[in-house]
């Protein structure tokens, strides 16, 4: 949006932190970028503000919109007085949406809110949070959603259908593009010794936080049904890592399941180019960035029938949609691996996803709101 030149973008990125970081359970947060981020930073044409607010993970969910509002509203008032805004936008529905609604109300500005998946599919199941979601939606001039399927879920929760606009995610095709598999594998092996695999090994990637809803346990169980030359590379971090390692070891798959932790923006495209498939049998999604990024790198996807899956996997070149069951996942992976689809043909299935198209669509929606 900022690169287009017709919108001036200011980002307020409130960071929630537990009030007592010294407590052992929050020790891992002490050195995260969230703790160390400056109050204000500028990147290119965008200024980002990082006000902090106190939260208690697992307990303060219903109160987080109010806590965010308390931290952000004084800053928003000051910035609006210095250079008036035309629009308040929240890029996540909960808890950001209700907080943005209060701020827009206080400043007398139009409001847009975007839904991405868990902000609707999880928080919308909790009555106290759903009430806040509905109230915020009634104040908006536009409700954005990453997929048609998520839009239908929003309507089912009582959000106004006439304001919903599908706004597909963007993608950096300069970064996420197919590299020759042999070249990508060689570069990965040089950077990560654990990925120095035998030449005949076939890589399946799984990209997502290591949490139950992403289905890595199902993917490990499916791996047991696949030939011994197939390796599963789990990208991401999360509380389920220890349990997933135990599962792989007890199934005799310890050497065929590789945990990389989080990968940087330069390393992830290499892995996805080296992979012959990407598997992510999630319990819920809107339209996952990992799906699109894998396809853009030439790796067909095997995913569950959630969110916008059917809007993305609309040809065999894109992969398969399967039941969240190990045998079904394994069967789909066997089909995809046997097909050996050219990377260029897989990548062509997501050519329509780009940041230019994303920004143009968003600009059109915003223009309709402020006029």
Q: Render pLDDT for 28-80 as a digit per residue (tens, 0 to 9).
A: 655 566 677 889 998 888 999 999 998 887 788 999 999 999 999 999 999 99
* pTM (predicted TM-score): 0.88
Beta bridge partner(s), residue 10: 47
Q: What is the pLDDT of residues 331-355, one digit of tens each?
A: 999 999 999 999 999 999 999 999 9
Q: What is the pLDDT of residues 201-229, one digit of tens each?
A: 999 999 999 999 999 999 999 999 999 99
Which carries the bigger pLDDT value, residue 287 or residue 59? 287
Model pLDDT, residue 179:
97
CB-based contacts of 354: which residues, under 8 Å, 6+ apart?
A: 170, 171, 173
322 DSSP assignment: E
Rg over CA atoms, the chain: 22
Q: What is the 3-state secondary structure (H, E, C) of 85-98?
A: CCCEEECCCCCHHH
**Average pLDDT value for residue range 248-264:** 96
pLDDT at 283 over 90: yes
Find, among 151, 171, 167, the residue nearest to 159 by Cα: 151
Model pLDDT, residue 371:
78
Q: What is the pLDDT of residues 174-205, one digit of tens each?
A: 999 999 999 999 999 999 999 999 999 999 99
Please give the mean pLDDT across all residues of the chain.
Answer: 94
Domains and CATH numbers, the chain: 2-170+354-370 (3.40.50.2000), 181-350 (3.40.50.2000)
Model pLDDT, residue 19:
74
236 DSSP assignment: B
CB-based contacts of 64: which residues, under 8 Å, 6+ apart?
A: 16, 53, 55, 95, 99
Distances (CA, A) of 81 to 22, 76, 90, 186: 37, 8, 20, 54
């Amino acid at each position: 949006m900022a690169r287009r030149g017709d919108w001036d973008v200011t980002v307020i990125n409130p960071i929630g932190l537990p009030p007592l970081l010294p407590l052992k359970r929050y020790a891992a947060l002490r050195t995260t970028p969230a703790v160390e981020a400056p109050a204000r930073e500028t990147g290119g044409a965008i200024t980002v503000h990082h006000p902090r607010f106190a939260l208690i993970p697992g307990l303060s969910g219903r109160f987080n919109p109010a806590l965010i509002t308390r931290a952000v509203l004084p800053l928003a008032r000051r910035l609006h007085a210095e250079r008036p805004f035309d629009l308040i936008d929240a890029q996540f529905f909960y808890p950001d949406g209700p907080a943005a609604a209060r701020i827009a109300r206080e400043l007398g500005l139009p409001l847009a809110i975007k839904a991405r998946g868990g902000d609707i599919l999880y928080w919308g199941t909790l009555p106290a949070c759903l009430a806040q979601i509905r109230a915020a939606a009634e104040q908006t001039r536009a409700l954005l959603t990453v997929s048609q399927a998520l839009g239908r879920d929003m309507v089912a929760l009582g959000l106004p259908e006439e304001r919903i606009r599908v706004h597909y995610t963007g993608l950096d095709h300069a970064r996420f593009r197919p590299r020759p598999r042999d070249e990508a594998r060689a570069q990965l092996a040089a950077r990560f010794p654990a990925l120095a695999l035998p030449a005949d090994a076939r890589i399946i990637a799984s990209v997502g936080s290591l949490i139950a809803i992403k289905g890595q346990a199902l993917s490990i169980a499916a791996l047991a049904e696949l030939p011994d030359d197939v390796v599963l590379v789990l990208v991401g971090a999360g509380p389920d890592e220890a349990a997933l390692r135990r599962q792989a070891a007890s199934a005799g798959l310890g050497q065929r399941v590789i945990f990389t932790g989080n990968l940087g923006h330069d390393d992830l495209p290499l892995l996805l180019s080296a992979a012959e498939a990407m598997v992510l049998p999630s319990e819920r999604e809107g339209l996952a960035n990992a799906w699109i990024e894998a396809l853009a790198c030439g790796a067909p996807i095997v995913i569950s029938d959630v969110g916008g899956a059917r809007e993305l996997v609309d040809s065999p070149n894109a992969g398969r949609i399967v039941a969240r069951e190990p045998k079904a996942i394994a069967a789909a992976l066997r089909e995809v691996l046997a097909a050996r689809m050219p990377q260029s043909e897989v990548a062509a299935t997501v050519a329509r996803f780009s940041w230019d198209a994303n920004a143009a669509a968003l600009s059109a929606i915003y223009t309709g709101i402020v006029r």
